[in-house]
Structure formats: structure tokens, C-alpha cells
Amino acid sequence: MNRNTLLLSFGALALLATSAWSADPSSEAIASELRDKALRGESIAWDFVSELTTRIGPRPAGSPAERAAAEWSARKLKDLGFENVRIESFPMTWWVRGTERVEITAPSPQPVVAAALGGSPPTPAGGIEGEVVIFPTFEDMKAAAPGSLAGKIAMVARPMPATQDGSGYGVAGIARRDGPTEAARRGAIGYVLRSLATGGARFPHAGGARYDGARVAIPSFAVSEPDAQQIERLVKLGEKVRLKLSSTASYVSNATSQNVVADLRGSERPNEVLLLGAHLDSWDLGTGAIDDAAGMAIITGAAKLIAQAPRKPKRTIRVVFYGSEEVSQPGDIPLGGRTYSTVHGSEIASHMLAGESDFGAGRVYSVSLPRGAFASPFGTALTRVLAPLSVVPSSVPPGNGGADIAPLEKLGVPVFVLNQDGTNYFDYHHTPDDTLDKIDPAALSQNVAAWAALVWLAADSEVDFRALRNSDSTAKR
Ligand SMILES: [Zn+2]
């Protein structure tokens, strides 16, 4: 190829790249084109999730790896052209897993595949040993009398069903969060949870337990689904089953976590913010690909596509990577979300809409909007643009929008949810198997397409979502 043909080719390419846009496209036409570009794989989402999970890998809340992920992603956002990129640090306690072992010591000694729950204290050097008492549900354990578990290891064995919307996790989750505290209140020396798992793989599912004061009450572990079944069968055979729990977990009380915040400034009403959230930290057993590098990639990919549109949207689009979502330190709200709503307190009144992506990369099947929004010009355009993606309006309200943006929702910010198919999400969630290969690139692209369309339309809209939220739902807009 000589220099002239090369120039000609570049010219032709440039023409091809811009020809998708008509001279003065409507807002809805831009949303449709953003959707189609994403579906064609023309977003940075895959490269983002691949690079983050490969370069950094696991990034527990408060760890140096989480810090490295924050610095890497801040650089990435700057390189992608985001403005006002900043890292906002806050203090926390970093829980370090250490080494651990769970075994059945009687009647038939054998190893158990298990992982300490996040925040679990270490055992004494020789471990702790006791007879296991199984409860079918968390509520059954709570019904046990004070002192009735003295010297015992309590186990909650409720199985978790796979559901499209992930509601099985919602029901089972309390046994992980509050199980250690409630077991300890009844005298137990240790706590064992049947993993909050679907799929049946012999992996433990990690996850945070609630702090009881400065730490989780007693050494607590999640055992794999097949191991939980084994323990249950032994008990049903009439055996007194003894477990031994060992852990060298530790706490680093002067650690820091951080949120990463970046903007694409709006053209007409830059003070009005549309917030897109995902979380930076992950559990330590896998590389945090589905939870939640995928979410970071989806929102960044969508925002970057919008930045490449023929004009800027009217409102500012803000991407927030929240630190420390996975661990519950004293208090119920994740620290990253709590910190953002405090640090940005004076701006919250101009946050028009917020959404977070924290459910892997399963395809989006429906959208939940704030009250009244479906009937607005934004809602009718969105319904049309999402139809080719097989995304339908949901009659289920968006609730608090998710763990990280819940503090904003509480302060009056309207939220939306792009509901994803989570049927297989809990096969991998919080396990060593949460790795890049579990992400389907086509489904990732479909997510970016839905996010790009929704965020563009909302950012370019005249609709006042805050007024809608506070109005009578039947009021015409
Ligand atoms: Zn998550």
C-alpha cells in the first residue's frame, strides 16, 4: 500500500465511522445508535473487565489490591476522556483471611471445603472443636433458647433456590449476615453456614457477616453445598458429628478504602447529575469478574459510548466506583456508599437519577423506573429503544436501587434498575470460580447497550425525575 491509498483508506474509514449519524439526529435516534454500537461490540467494556481482573485480580475491601484497582481505574477513566477524576479515600478495617481449615473429626474424619466469612475472628492456634447442631433455617436457630448452644457449633442448612431475579439470595442472606451474632447469643463457639449457592459445585461462597462491635462474634465459615449435604446426612444417620474449625484471620484497623468518581460534563445543565455506580472491591477467592468488575465495565463502556455521540447530553453523567461494598463494618450500609453521600452531601439535591450495576453480566430482561417515569417522554422513548434488546418495562418498582446507591435513594434521589438474568449468578458469586471466563461477551454487550440507551435518554431529557418521584403517580407529565 502506498501513502496515497493509505490516506484514502483512512478517509473511507472516517466516513464509515461517522455515517451512522444523520445530520442532526434526534435524542431517540442517538440512543438507538448507541445501543446498536454496543451490540456490535464497539465498546471498551470487554477490554476493561479483562484488564482489571487480569492485572489486579482479587481486591478485598481495604486491601492494597483494592487501592491498586482504584489507581488503575482512575488512570483508565482519565485516558478515556472523563473529567474531574478523583480518588476519595476513607478509613476502614481490612479483614485478612489468613490460612484456614475445616474438618469433620468424628465420626468419620474428612476435610470439608469451606471459607471463613468476611470479618470472622481467628480461632485459637489449635482450632476449636465441637458438636454440630443443624438448623433448617436461620429462624429456627433464632428460636433456640439462650445458652442452648453452649460449646456447640451451630449450622444453618437452608438451601438456596436459583431464581431469575436473585430473590433466593435475598431470603437466604440473613443467615450469613446475622448468623454468627445469633449463634453466639445462644452460646455457640462457632458458626457454619451452608453456602449461599446454586449450581452444586464443591466451592465455598465467601461473603461478609455483620460485625458485633469491632468484629464478627465467633469464628464463622461457609461450607460448600456438597459438604453441607454430607454433614446433614451424617446427622440424619444418628451420628454425633464433630467439626474442627481453624483460622488465622486478622484485622488491620488502620487501612483505607476509596471511591473513584469521574464525570462527563453535560452541555446545558451540568449541575444536574445522573449517577452510574458499580463497586471496586471483590472477594478474595476469585478475581471478582462477575462481582463486580463486570458492573464497572458496563457503566464505563456505556458512558464512553455516550462521550463519542455527535453531541453532549444536557446533564452530567457521573461514574462512581464504590470501595468496600462487600464488607459490613459496624452499621448496615456499605462504607463506600455511605461516604459518597456524606462527601457529596451538598450536591445530592441535584442528583436527578441513579442506578448501579452489580449483578454480573447476565442479560438485561426488564427495566424498573422511578414512579411516573414510564409515562413520561423519557419513558416512552426508552421503552421503544429497549424493545429490540428484549428488555420490557417492569411492574416491580426499583426499591432502593442497590447497596451502594441506597443511601442516595434514602436522601430522595430517584433510582432505576436494569434487571438482569441472575439464574446462574449464584453458581459463581463469591467463589474461586468468579473469573473472567464466566462472562459471556455477547451478554456483556447487551448490558452496555441497555445502559447506554437509558443513560443517554435520561441525561438528554427534560424530565424532572425528582419532581415525578414526589408527585402523585397518576399526575400527567
Ligand atoms: Zn457485588
What is the bridge-based pairing of β-strands 128-135 and 153-156? Answer: parallel
For residue 392, the CA-to-ligand 1 centroid distance in Å is 24
- CA–CA distance, 211 with 216 (Å, rounded to integer): 4
- First-to-final CA distance of the chain: 59
For residue 466, the CA-to-ligand 1 centroid distance in Å is 27
- pLDDT of 1: 41
For residue 260, the CA-to-ligand 1 centroid distance in Å is 16
Cell matching residue 21 = 449519524
- pLDDT tier for residue 171 given thresholds of 50, 70 and 90: confident
Indicate if the pLDDT at residue 331 is higher than 80.
Answer: no
> If you ran DSSP here, which 8-state letter would residue 122 be given?
P
* Own/partner pairs, 468-476, CB within 8 angstroms, 24+ separation: 468/370, 468/371, 468/372, 468/373, 468/376, 468/414, 469/370, 469/371, 469/372, 469/412, 469/414, 470/412, 471/372, 473/371, 473/372, 475/372, 476/375
For residue 391, the CA-to-ligand 1 centroid distance in Å is 22
For residue 283, the CA-to-ligand 1 centroid distance in Å is 9
For residue 111, the CA-to-ligand 1 centroid distance in Å is 29
For residue 279, the CA-to-ligand 1 centroid distance in Å is 6
For residue 325, the CA-to-ligand 1 centroid distance in Å is 7
For residue 129, the CA-to-ligand 1 centroid distance in Å is 33
For residue 261, the CA-to-ligand 1 centroid distance in Å is 18
φ and ψ at 274, to 5 degrees?
A: -105, 115
For residue 152, the CA-to-ligand 1 centroid distance in Å is 32
Under a CB-based contact definition with an 8 Å cutoff, are residues 137 and 182 in contact?
Answer: no
The rounded Cα 197 to chain-centroid distance in angstroms is: 16
For residue 287, the CA-to-ligand 1 centroid distance in Å is 12
Per mean pLDDT, which range of 12-26, 133-147, 385-399, 444-458 is the poorest? 12-26
- CA–CA distance, 405 with 272 (Å, rounded to integer): 17
CA proximity to 249, closest of 95, 60, 67, 384: 95
Indicate if the pLDDT at residue 12 is higher than 50.
Answer: no
CA proximity to 114, closest of 20, 3, 267, 245: 245
- pLDDT of 23: 73
| pLDDT tens by residue, 67-107 | 999 999 999 999 999 999 999 999 999 999 999 999 999 99
- pLDDT of 240: 97
Cell matching residue 151 = 460449646
- pLDDT of 7: 44
For residue 288, the CA-to-ligand 1 centroid distance in Å is 9
Residues 6 or more apart whose CB falls under 8 angstroms from that of 63 comprise: 94, 96, 255
- pLDDT of 3: 45
Cis peptide before 441 (omega within 30 of 0): no
Under a CB-based contact definition with an 8 Å cutoff, are residues 357 and 381 in contact?
Answer: no
| Complete DSSP assignment for 145-180 | PTTTTTT-EEEE-------TT-HHHHHHTHHHHTHH
For residue 393, the CA-to-ligand 1 centroid distance in Å is 24
Cell matching residue 437 = 471466563
For residue 336, the CA-to-ligand 1 centroid distance in Å is 12
For residue 77, the CA-to-ligand 1 centroid distance in Å is 21
| pLDDT tens by residue, 102-118 | 999 999 999 999 999 99
Cell matching residue 254 = 488502620
For residue 293, the CA-to-ligand 1 centroid distance in Å is 9
For residue 404, the CA-to-ligand 1 centroid distance in Å is 9
The neighbouring-strand residues paired with 134 are: 155
| pLDDT tens by residue, 181-220 | 999 999 999 999 999 999 999 999 999 999 888 889 999 9
For residue 137, the CA-to-ligand 1 centroid distance in Å is 24
- pLDDT of 475: 41
- CA–CA distance, 458 with 195 (Å, rounded to integer): 39
- pLDDT of 17: 47
For residue 473, the CA-to-ligand 1 centroid distance in Å is 31
- pLDDT tier for residue 4 given thresholds of 50, 70 and 90: very low
Cα distances (Å, whole numbers) of residue 383 to 21, 379, 448, 462:
21, 6, 16, 17
For residue 232, the CA-to-ligand 1 centroid distance in Å is 30
For residue 95, the CA-to-ligand 1 centroid distance in Å is 17
Cell matching residue 465 = 425525575
Indicate if the pLDDT at residue 8 is higher than 50.
Answer: no
For residue 240, the CA-to-ligand 1 centroid distance in Å is 37
For residue 358, the CA-to-ligand 1 centroid distance in Å is 5
For residue 360, the CA-to-ligand 1 centroid distance in Å is 8
- pLDDT of 165: 93
For residue 357, the CA-to-ligand 1 centroid distance in Å is 8
Indicate if the pLDDT at residue 142 is higher than 70.
Answer: yes
For residue 155, the CA-to-ligand 1 centroid distance in Å is 25
For residue 359, the CA-to-ligand 1 centroid distance in Å is 7
CB atoms within 10 A of CB 339: 23
Residues 6 or more apart whose CB falls under 8 angstroms from that of 441 comprise: 41, 46
List of E strands, 107-152: 110-112, 114-116, 128-135
Residues 6 or more apart whose CB falls under 8 angstroms from that of 68 comprise: 56, 59
For residue 421, the CA-to-ligand 1 centroid distance in Å is 15
Cα distances (Å, whole numbers) of residue 45 to 83, 289, 413, 419:
19, 12, 27, 18
What is the bridge-based pairing of β-strands 100-106 and 110-112? Answer: antiparallel
| pLDDT tens by residue, 32-54 | 999 999 999 999 999 999 999 99
SS3 assignment, position 3: helix
Phi/psi class of residue 187: alpha, beta or left (left: φ > 0; alpha: ψ in -120 to 50)? left
For residue 320, the CA-to-ligand 1 centroid distance in Å is 14
For residue 16, the CA-to-ligand 1 centroid distance in Å is 39
Q: Give 335 or 334, the one with higher predicted confidence.
A: 335
For residue 424, the CA-to-ligand 1 centroid distance in Å is 15
Mean pLDDT of the chain: 93
Instruction: Check: pTM over 0.85? Answer yes or no.
Output: yes
For residue 436, the CA-to-ligand 1 centroid distance in Å is 15
For residue 186, the CA-to-ligand 1 centroid distance in Å is 31
For residue 430, the CA-to-ligand 1 centroid distance in Å is 9
